[in-house]
Amino acid sequence: MSKGVTIWFTGLSGAGKSTIALILEKRLRKLGAKVEILDGDVVRTNLSKGLGFSREDRDTNIKRIGFVCNLLTRNDVIAISAAISPYREVRDYNRQLIGNFLEVYTRCSLDKCIERDTKGLYKKAIAGEIKEFTGISDPYEEPLNPEVVVDTDKETPEQSAEKVFNKLEELGYLDHLNKTAAV
């Protein structure tokens, strides 16, 4: 088995994807893993600048993230994607492209996401100031069979990161790190 894997966090804005990804990244780096995070906001600024929020543009953005994750994964890097990625079809496309793929549904109630919203995006979307906002005026398609579900309105970010870490261990993606760390 390749040492590389893509950990694909999906969920509503404010669900905790980036927070958990950062905790997981830190823990994996301590074990000596090569890790890269592709955060949805950062990718939109640097790799997908100019794309809007139509379904076609969102699909293009998520496929670009998948392309980069595939390159990283096949070069034995643990790639972590933290992007809303609202549409099941494109997540499934990336799963097929990448192969070593761990989907993490970052489940959180809409009310809690709205409560956490420091940028005021939900408020603007509810007021109609932002069109095509996932969870308000645009759909979010929950994963059907994610490898991990974290309930971020019930768990701490550390507990959620632990669940993902444990699944990586269970599936053997960290075996080479454990052996190296034990030496």
In the chain, count of helices (H) and strands (E)?
8, 5
Q: Tally Cβ neighbours within 10 Å of residue 71.
A: 14
Rounded distance between C-alpha atoms, residue 140 and residue 55, angstroms: 11
Q: How many whole angstroms separate alpha carbon 53 and alpha carbon 40?
A: 13
In sequence order, the β-bridge partners of residue 138 are: 134
CA angle 14, 161, 28 (to 5 degrees): 120
Place of tokens 């997981």: 24
Please give the positions annotated as active site.
85
Give the tokens for residue 89: 């079809």
